[in-house]
Amino acid sequence: MELSEQIEVRVRFSEVDSLKIVWHGHYAKYFEDAREAFGIKYGLGYLDVYSKGYVTPLVELNFEYKKSLFYNDRAIVKTTYVDSKAAKIIFKYEVINAKSKELIAIGQSTQVFLTSENPELQLIIPDFFENWKKKWGIL
């Protein structure tokens, strides 16, 4: 079963360089916004995780740019959960021009579990995350 969510973003003036092309660093924000929408939809939001006593910092984030987005373009940002047997959360991303349907960029992020009170890396999948996987038919 694939768990995914998508959002639409409009490229704002503050996100482009002097050539009116989206500055590459803004894709991290687009991914973050899509990841947050995924969390809200599937009950894996930042506050959901924090309420269980954990935080999930990013340890890896990568991008591959295919084409450019320009000022006032609209894009669809799709986030897809990638299952892992390790105690981590992995997402894949696709950015697609909403008008032309062209693939603009792809990427992936990896987050790990740390306890929120005493930040220690968790090498075993937390119970709440295992239950989350069961709920959505991943386990």
Residues 38-51 have pLDDT tens digits of 999 999 999 999 99
- As a whole number, mean pLDDT of residues 58-87 equals 97
Has residue 118 got a pLDDT over 90? no
Q: Band the pLDDT of 139: cuts 50, 70, 90.
A: confident
> Residue 1 pLDDT > 80, yes or no?
no
Whether the pLDDT of residue 138 is over 80: the answer is: yes
Helix (H, G, I), strand (E, B) or coil at 105: strand
71: CB partners within 8 A, 6+ apart: 11, 12, 13, 15, 16, 20
User: Which residues on adjacent β-strands are paired with residue 135?
Assistant: none
> Which residues lie across from 75 on neighbouring strands?
9, 97
Share of the chain above pLDDT 70, in %: 100
Domains along the chain with CATH numbers? 4-135 (3.10.129.10)
Question: CA triplet 76, 39, 46: central angle to 5 degrees?
Answer: 125
Long-range contacts, 98-104 (Cβ 8 Å, 24+): 98/8, 98/73, 98/74, 99/73, 99/74, 102/66, 102/67, 103/66, 103/67, 104/65, 104/66, 104/67, 104/68, 104/69, 104/75
Residues 119-136 have pLDDT tens digits of: 888 889 999 999 999 999
Best CA proximity match to 130, nearest among 82, 87, 79 = 87
The model's pTM:
0.94
